[in-house]
Chains A and B, each alone.
Chain A
Amino acid sequence: MIFNSEFSGQQQHTTQPIVTGGSVIALAYKGGVVVGADTLCSYGSMADFKNVEKIAQVSKNTIYVSSGEFSDFQQVVRELAKIDRSALQYDDGVHPSPRDYGNYLARLSYKRRCKINPLYLQNVIAGFHNGERYLGLVDIYGTYLESNFVTTGFASYFCKAIISNYWNENCTLDQAKQVIRECFKVLFCRDCRAHDVIQLAYVDEQGTHIEQPERVETKWDFSGFKNRANEKLHTQ
């Protein structure tokens, strides 16, 4: 998406993303929410930064990750952390819930969209508050959706069917993690800007748990791909 800048030099508007993050997949499970994202930041079509741990903890029970322009993501993390800090200063034990962060991000995104200078992000906010799971999606325009499962980027095309067929909202944490790993396997096989090292994080009653990056196993040597005897028939 390219927005033409009317005031070249004076006021700069976002024209295109430069350093981008990959797809994000988040699923609710019985007792919490689990989020997966890969650890790659692409510089156009170059896989530039390969060990980026993207999943940010914005408060005790909320995590935030997004796909799209990485510098915008880092700025939003700072903005959301400001909210948590200013709540601490009141020192009254009241903290913003995950939904508050989701709503704030939606308003922020919409305001930027109205100025034709968007935050080039598809955002996922996940959390657990007062015994309830929360999973929200905010896209580049400020569209705000709460759902039991959320995908951004290419995962919306490849992985929705896998999630529908192999996940339900009352599955266990391990089952949900397995579905996310399966989805990232498929993405690594078919999305040019995907990476096979992913990071999972989950939020439950006890709080936030962000895990170490892990590699997903993909199989590239099916006999039909290795053995191209059929193609050779054309040149015999």
Chain B
Amino acid sequence: MQYLDNYLESKGGYDYTNVKRNELMKAQGFKEMPFTKTGTTIVGVLFDGGVVMAADTRATAGSIVADKNCEKLHTLAPNIWAAGAGTAADLHHQCAHFNAKLKLQRLNLNRQSRVNEVITKLTSKLFPYRGHIGVALIIGGIDCNGPQLASVSPHGNYVYHPFQSMGSGSLAALGILEAKFQDGLTKQQAIDLAIEAIEAGIFHDMGSGSNVDVVAITKDGVDYKRNIRQYNAKSYQRQVPYDFPINNTPALKKYQFDIEKQELSEVGQEMVIIE
């Protein structure tokens, strides 16, 4: 395998072997697969002692709601969570991949995972794919360097801000965050601000909707509230399985079929208890 490493090293950073072929395909009318953005509103808010992340729960396929109650808050490590906007498949697989990668590293090194480590690994993976892996993540966690909140864009850009929002509803959420964010928020204030920002996305963006999920990460642990707010919950849930009470349907006639003689005979005509 040594020869492969040497070969790749000698080739250099970027691999341009497909450029000519791609240009030829484009000239012949080949259309690249469009980067489908699943509508989302996700926010992250940094507060004294931790970080809060919140997300809506609607997954869209074009103009149709594909999933009314999906989970957009993913665990990357026990102390690091990611909120994801973008292509649902990419998000799911990338988060699962990094979850496993970080777990292996924790087992090898016997150390807690760090947020900047997650960011470095993520951006190193995303950058070579030039934005085709459609993941826009808000990463929040707490480690030996304190609470940190960062966002990663599909092209591999990362930025650390005390409040972030991403997804199609990010502008609506950002309006609330810009207006109401302060330094030195408490945990409950940060949670309330995050919920208000997601609400803004749910009501003012068509790609976001349904419920609000919130996770608060502090030194003491992770507080994950699934569906902390539901705006259009069904007020009546039908009983499943349906319980048919005995004697609900009156019996008019009772027949008996003798299997050996192959004969059908009428037994009675009154109401009979069927058990």
Interface residues of A, Cβ cutoff 8 Å to B = 157-162, 164-165, 182-183, 185-186, 189-190, 222-225, 228-231, 233-234
Expressed in whole angstroms, the Cα–Cα distance for A230 and B204 within the complex equals: 33
Instruction: Give the interface size bracket for B toward A.
Output: 20 to 34
With contacts A165-B196, A230-B116 known, is A182 near B160, CB below 8 A? no
Interface contact A189-B178, CB-CB below 8 Å: yes
Chain B residues near A162: list those with CB within 8 A.
Answer: 175-176, 179, 200
User: Per-position contact with A for B186-216: 1 when CB-CB < 8 Å, else 0?
Assistant: 0000000000100111011000000000000
Interface residues of B in 44-64 (CB under 8 A from A): 46
With contacts A224-B46, A230-B148, A230-B160 known, is A164 near B174, CB below 8 A? no
Chain A residues near B183: list those with CB within 8 A.
Answer: 222-224
Interface contact B162-A224, CB-CB below 8 Å: yes
User: Per-position contact with A for B112-145: 1 when CB-CB < 8 Å, else 0?
Assistant: 0001100110000000000000000000000001
Q: Tell me if B222 is interfacial: C-beta within 8 Å of chain A.
A: no
Nearest opposing residue in chain A for B181, CB measure: A222
Interface residues of B, Cβ cutoff 8 Å to A = 46, 115-116, 119-120, 145, 148-150, 159-163, 171-176, 178-179, 181, 183, 196, 199-201, 203-204
Interface contact A161-B161, CB-CB below 8 Å: no
Interface contact B116-A160, CB-CB below 8 Å: no
Nearest opposing residue in chain A for B176, CB measure: A161
Expressed in whole angstroms, the Cα–Cα distance for A170 and B175 within the complex equals: 23
- How far is the CB of B273 from the nearest CB of chain A, in Å? 61
The contact of B161 among A160, A224, A234, by CB within 8 Å, is A224
Interface contact A234-B175, CB-CB below 8 Å: no
Expressed in whole angstroms, the Cα–Cα distance for A164 and B200 within the complex equals: 9
Interface contact B171-A158, CB-CB below 8 Å: yes
Expressed in whole angstroms, the Cα–Cα distance for A157 and B172 within the complex equals: 6
Expressed in whole angstroms, the Cα–Cα distance for A19 and B201 within the complex equals: 32
Chain A residues near B204: list those with CB within 8 A.
Answer: 160-161, 164
Interface contact A190-B179, CB-CB below 8 Å: no
Chain B residues near A160: list those with CB within 8 A.
Answer: 172, 175, 200, 204
Interface contact B145-A230, CB-CB below 8 Å: yes
Nearest opposing residue in chain A for B147, CB measure: A230
Interface contact A234-B145, CB-CB below 8 Å: no
Interface contact B162-A161, CB-CB below 8 Å: no
Interface contact A190-B160, CB-CB below 8 Å: no
Expressed in whole angstroms, the Cα–Cα distance for A182 and B181 within the complex equals: 12
